[in-house]
């Protein structure tokens, strides 16, 4: 604060100054998280890289859920001769998602004994806040899900798909709650994952799993782009949610943002997996 006051000399901070402070703060956060520079031991950097993949996967789940919702019943908008390619792309997304979820589950189960030892040694104090917050939001989301399902059964098809604005707003709030729960559970996992003790063999397994998850995300991103490309040519009105032949533009905001989020999450996952792999090589050579 004193440095900024000296730089400003009583003047109001310019927009460029504000941006520079924000960028410097983000860089320092990245260094503190082990994502810039060579902070910590090779084992710490392996762990940090794997945790970046985990965080990227959380963002990808949000994008994937959005894609799954937008792609509902897409085959009915295409002629039979044009369904095969987007159908194969959609199936590829589903299979890769199952593979990535399985890899993450294996990683979590492998680290579970270390996490239990961490809790027994007093680690609960360090993860209590995010775990309790995530648990609370999860309970609320489950309750909201039950209410929304019951509400949906009282509505017509049109009302469930935008005609009833109150239901649409409730669904958006529900989606925000699910996203918040995912973020909080991921924060709890990151906080615990950075503090548990992992042996060299287990670190090697986590590296392999992180690389596998990053590759699965890349496959899903490419498959989603292929699906979008076919629909943009053959049925752009489906992307816009309008009647056939009424919308020539394929750049509907939701699918555009969905794909951009997939690309960004995949890029961060690739960076995390590469960092984990390089650090693992250094650890083995040590």
pTM: 0.81
Higher local confidence (pLDDT), 214 or 77 = 214
* Most confident among 15-19, 157-161, 189-193, 211-215 (mean pLDDT): 211-215
The rounded mean pLDDT for the chain is 86
What percent of the chain stands above pLDDT 90?
40
How far is the C-alpha of 48 from the C-alpha of 121, rounded, in Å? 22
Calculate the alpha carbon distances from 155 to 69, 86, 278 in Å. 18, 30, 54
Q: For residue 146, what pLDDT is reported? A: 93
Higher local confidence (pLDDT), 181 or 34 = 181
3 inside domain? no
11 inside domain? no
250 inside domain? yes
Rg (CA), the chain: 23
2 inside domain? no
Q: For residue 144, what pLDDT is reported? A: 92
233 inside domain? yes
Query: Tens digits of per-residue pLDDT, 80-113?
Result: 878 889 999 999 999 999 999 999 999 999 999 9
Q: For residue 67, what pLDDT is reported? A: 92
The whole-number average pLDDT for the span 147-169 is: 82
Q: Which band of pLDDT confidence, cut at 50, 70 and 90, is reported for residue 254?
A: confident
Alpha helices in the chain (DSSP H): 2-8, 15-32, 42-70, 84-118, 124-152, 157-158, 165-193, 200-234, 236-240, 253-285
227 inside domain? yes
Kindly report the backbone phi and psi dihedral angles of residue 164, in degrees, each rounded to the nearest multiple of 5, phi listed first. -100, 105
Calculate the alpha carbon distances from 140 to 9, 76, 168, 269 in Å. 49, 36, 18, 30
In this structure, are residues 228 and 255 in contact, taking their beta carbons and an 8 Å threshold? yes
In this structure, are residues 220 and 93 in contact, taking their beta carbons and an 8 Å threshold? yes
Whether residue 243 has pLDDT greater than 80:
no
Sort 234 into a burial class: Cβ within 10 Å, 0-12 / 13-18 / 19+: middle
38 inside domain? no
Q: For residue 158, what pLDDT is reported? A: 72
For residue 271, give its domain range.
45-285
Higher local confidence (pLDDT), 168 or 216 = 216
25 inside domain? no
Domain count, the chain: 1
């Amino acid at each position: 604060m004193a440095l900024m006051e000296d730089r400003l000399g009583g003047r109001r901070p310019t927009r460029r100054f504000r941006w520079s402070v924000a960028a410097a703060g983000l860089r320092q956060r990245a260094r503190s998280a082990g994502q810039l520079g060579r902070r910590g031991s090779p084992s710490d950097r392996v762990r940090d890289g794997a945790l970046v993949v985990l965080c990227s996967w959380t963002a990808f789940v949000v994008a994937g859920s959005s894609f799954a919702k937008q792609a509902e019943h897409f085959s009915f908008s295409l002629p039979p001769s044009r369904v095969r390619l987007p159908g194969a792309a959609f199936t590829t997304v589903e299979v890769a998602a199952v593979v990535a979820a399985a890899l993450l589950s294996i990683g979590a189960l492998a680290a579970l004994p270390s996490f239990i030892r961490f809790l027994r040694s007093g680690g609960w104090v360090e993860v209590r806040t995010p775990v309790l917050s995530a648990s609370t939001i999860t309970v609320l989301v489950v309750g909201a899900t039950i209410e929304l399902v019951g509400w949906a059964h009282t509505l017509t098809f049109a009302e469930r798909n935008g005609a009833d604005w109150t239901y649409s707003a409730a669904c958006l709030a529900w989606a925000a709650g699910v996203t918040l729960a995912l973020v909080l559970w991921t924060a709890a996992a990151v906080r615990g994952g950075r503090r548990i003790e992992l042996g060299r063999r287990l670190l090697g397994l986590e590296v392999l799993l992180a690389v596998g998850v990053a590759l699965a995300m890349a496959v899903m991103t490419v498959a989603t782009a292929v699906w979008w490309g076919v629909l943009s040519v053959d049925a752009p009105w489906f992307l816009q949610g309008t009647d056939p032949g009424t919308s020539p533009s394929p750049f509907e905001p939701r699918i555009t943002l969905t794909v951009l989020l997939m690309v960004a999450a995949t890029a961060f996952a690739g960076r995390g997996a590469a960092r984990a792999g390089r650090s693992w090589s250094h650890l083995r050579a040590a």
